[in-house]
Amino acid sequence: MERRKFTLGLTAAAAAAACALKTRQTDERPTAAIRPDKPTNADRVLVVGGARLSVAIEGTEPSLPRVVYEAWVQKSAQMIADYYGGTLPVPGLEITLVTNGRGAVGYGHHRQGRWITVHCGRRTKQSSPDGDWVMVHEMLHATFPNLPDRHRWMQEGLSTCLEKVVRARAGDIDAQNVWRRLCGSMHYGRPRMGDRGLDRTHTWGRTYWGGALFWMVADVELRRATGNDKSLRDALLYIAQQGGNAREVWDTGVVCEQADAGTGTTVVSQLYEAMARAPGDVDLDALWAELGVVRYGDGSVDFDDRAPLAAIRRAITASG
């Protein structure tokens, strides 16, 4: 396998940009001490990809009919099940939509592969939940093993990166949207001065976008190493087949072992050594160029299919 070159440090411009960061991604860490009240108004159970999803609506001011909220839950789960070959790799979820408040689709919380809460205030419109990423992000947490606190970046990064890929593969967003968002924010995940690697640097940027960078590079490197035959999806499918979902607590060593076993490579474990145990940086400008993602000053992107890894870029968001 060809190894990427990693370099220490971060440009001043990227560091300054990180200071201006704004986000809605604030879902909290599952802990054994937190168990939400069991929903009492879940009057319908959806079955998606073999998983039973109960939907409770809490709050007195839902801005949409229940059927719209349920359709959002169902579609989000179905997109993930499709990514996993038709099966949602968790037995079931109790989903609570909190409809009080002035906002639109806002904060989400996932706990222990069992409970998801998403706030959907009065500004939630029909086009909003249907096109929103929060439910997919939270559900993806349920499909991946729980990890000790210091490895939270691995869980948040996976949901941050994979939400876009899952939705693109399902046709919910287009490839330009995916790469525009990845290009627009991935630099927040690079190590800054004094960084000690993803396992020991718990800033927002490193947790969400550093983790996303890890998984995106893993996907690219898996495809590069195998001629586009194996990918992050093969690693995650294998982890799911070994019973790895958020009802289980795994060690990252086991995650890396299983990801390697599922792909017949050592890509994920090597990347873990470089980026989690050390502040391995990624030359993003070079990576975007290799993938054929052309960025413009207004934040939009276009594609160059003559780029050396253009086929890999296309495969990442390809449907099916």
Q: Give dist(CA 272, CA 198) in Å, integer.
A: 9
Residue 112 engages Zn ion in binding (rule: CB under 5 A): no
Asked whether 228 and 311 are in contact (CB, 8 A), the reply is yes
Q: What are phi and psi of 126, to 5 degrees?
A: -60, -40
Asked whether 310 and 304 are in contact (CB, 8 A), the reply is yes
Cβ-based neighbour number of residue 112 at 10 Å = 18
Q: What does each C-alpha distance from 267 to 37, 150, 153, 199, 270 come to in angstroms?
A: 41, 21, 18, 18, 5
User: Given the complex with Zn ion, which of 161 and 291 has the nearer CB atom?
Assistant: 161
Q: How far is the CB of 241 from Zn ion (least distance, A)?
A: 23
Q: Give dist(CA 216, CA 221) in Å, integer.
A: 9
Q: How far is the CB of 137 from Zn ion (least distance, A)?
A: 5
Interaction pattern, residues 137-156, with Zn ion; x per rule: CB under 5 A: -------------------x
User: Given the complex with Zn ion, which of 159 and 317 has the nearer CB atom?
Assistant: 159
Q: How far is the CB of 141 from Zn ion (least distance, A)?
A: 6
Q: Give dist(CA 307, CA 315) in Å, integer.
A: 14
User: Given the complex with Zn ion, which of 199 and 221 has the nearer CB atom?
Assistant: 199
Q: Count interface residues toward Zn ion (CB under 5 A).
A: 3
Q: Which amino acid is at 28?
A: E
- Considering only residues 256 through 315, tell me which ones interact with Zn ion, judged by CB under 5 A: none
User: Given the complex with Zn ion, which of 160 and 270 has the nearer CB atom?
Assistant: 160
User: Given the complex with Zn ion, which of 276 and 293 has the nearer CB atom?
Assistant: 276
Q: Which two tokens stand for residue 172?
A: 């919910």
- Considering only residues 159 through 178, tell me which ones interact with Zn ion, judged by CB under 5 A: 159
Binding segment toward Zn ion, per CB under 5 A, in 26-34, 187-195, 224-232, 307-315: 26-34
Q: How far is the CB of 239 from Zn ion (least distance, A)?
A: 17
User: Given the complex with Zn ion, which of 62 and 211 has the nearer CB atom?
Assistant: 211
Q: Which two tokens stand for residue 277?
A: 């145990």
Q: How far is the CB of 115 from Zn ion (least distance, A)?
A: 14
Q: How far is the CB of 230 from Zn ion (least distance, A)?
A: 26
Q: What does each C-alpha distance from 122 to 63, 116, 126, 129, 154 come to in angstroms?
A: 5, 19, 11, 12, 33
- Considering only residues 198 through 217, tell me which ones interact with Zn ion, judged by CB under 5 A: none
Residue 27 engages Zn ion in binding (rule: CB under 5 A): yes
User: Given the complex with Zn ion, which of 144 and 288 has the nearer CB atom?
Assistant: 144
Q: How far is the CB of 165 from Zn ion (least distance, A)?
A: 15
Asked whether 232 and 274 are in contact (CB, 8 A), the reply is no
Asked whether 227 and 250 are in contact (CB, 8 A), the reply is no
Q: How far is the CB of 266 from Zn ion (least distance, A)?
A: 28
Please enumerate in sequence order all residues whose Cβ is within 8 A of that of 228, keeping only pairs 6 or more positions apart, or say none: 311, 312, 315
User: Given the complex with Zn ion, which of 159 and 263 has the nearer CB atom?
Assistant: 159
Nearest residue (beta carbon) to Zn ion: 27
Residues of the shown chain interacting with Zn ion in the complex, contacts defined by CB under 5 A: 27, 156, 159
